[in-house]
Structure 1
Amino acid sequence: MASIDLNSDVGESFGRWTLGDDSAMFESVSSANVACGFHAGDPSVIRATTAKAAQAGVVIGAHVGYRDLAGFGRRFLDVDPKELADDVVYQIGALQALAATAGTRVKYVKPHGGLYNAIVKHTAQAQAVVDAVKAVDPGLAILGLPGSEVLRLAEKSGLRPVTEAFADRAYNPDGTLVSRTLPGAVLHDPAEVAQHVLRMATERRIMAIDGTILNVRAESICVHGDSPGAVAMATAVKSALSDAGVSIASFA
């Protein structure tokens, strides 16, 4: 693999509450999943984040989620599909407007947290997300786990499905992410994370939490911006990929 996209969740501060160092993350990643106000982010944070991303030459994507600020969007919500579709349209539209003020535009959509995990198997919610994206802009790609319902439905609807892997998350033997409620779900050691990503990018493999080796074909790899030591992990990943002759470039 000559190149790989690195994406990161950004713009997740809110009001006086600050989360992550987005500017530092932009030095290592090629795509930015910008929170759209439902799980995190507010208009001022979103506008400033899109401006910084544009200045750094980083591609912008809409990080849409459940309307759940209190739970940071990580809890499953049994939302009516029509309501969910409207919420996704609303979030994409808000980011499109704020990105335009920075002279840039939204090029893809990546669901967040509880919604991301739900639409791996939840067909109705997955279809709602796909319908919303297609209604706003059929040219937008959708990021998701390999083999997920949302990517199957995206491709069926004529949207571009983009497979994603995670640099700092542990995997179950079935290819799903280990729940954050379980020990070992999140990786913190920069060297371990770098090797995890290098295996994904060069061998197209992931080691599951039980030692099982999984085959994965990921077009994008996520390094979470809100994790402790996120910047150090992103820097280590960028360095490891560079040393292996793998360049970092957006898929969009």
Structure 2
Amino acid sequence: MNEAVLITDPGDPRLEPFRRLRDRNLKSDAGLFVGEGPLTVERMLGLPGVTRSVLVVDRWADRYAEAARAGVEILTAAESLLSDIIGFAFHRGVLATGDRSYFDGRELGDLIPGAGAKATLLCVDGVTNVDNIGLLFRNAAAFACDGVVLSDSCHDPLYRKALRVSLGHVLSVPWSRASDWNAALLQLKDAGVELVAAALREEACALDDYEVPDRVALVVGQESVGVSQATLDHCDRVLRIPMAEGVDSLNVAAASAVCLHRLSRGLRR
């Protein structure tokens, strides 16, 4: 039976993945990612084989006794030592390292429901803001998306802030990163998925007037320039959100929530 291990030496080598998190990019560190806070860590532990180790403030050690018995390495430390290890004042109580390969190996075809089934997907073209990436995943979860497709230039969704902002839904909503964005869009169309972009264009259809098909993917774009023209060229329709006079746009996360609420009607409780 495994038990939590109390760490008192800040030089303990088992702490290495958690050191200086503010200054590190774990994408290149042994294929790991780091999640923080109870909600994200619980989601990590719910995925078999993903969690490598957990570092938790000592007063919460009992919460992770079951994970320890299941073979996950559970390290505990005083709150002051935990903050020293990671390099900044930390008040969320728990962090965990996870194996990126669980997510990095997923293909676009794994996300698309089979022929004849309804499908709602979110395609993200070049969104580089970490908060928006997290919020897009939170929206995808809220509005019953079957998956999220990211262009290669999007911010890493497994970055710890993206995980936190998403409330851990980066771990629960299936996603894939497309190394060839044009090919990914064509694959969706070949699977009978209608591509609709949220964009400011004269030819755009008002969201409320759009007849939602059974298989649809919402395409959203980079914060400052929106959906690229190359991506728009693949889209079947362009949608606009009717707004008050003098206001022409919303933040990409807010716009996606409004659109997905419309596109997913009938799929939600």
| TM-score band w.r.t. shorter chain | 0.3 to 0.5
TM-score norm. by structure 2 comes to: 0.32
Between Structure 1 and Structure 2, whose CA radius of gyration is higher?
Answer: 2
Greater relative contact order structure (CA < 8 Å, 6+ sep): 1
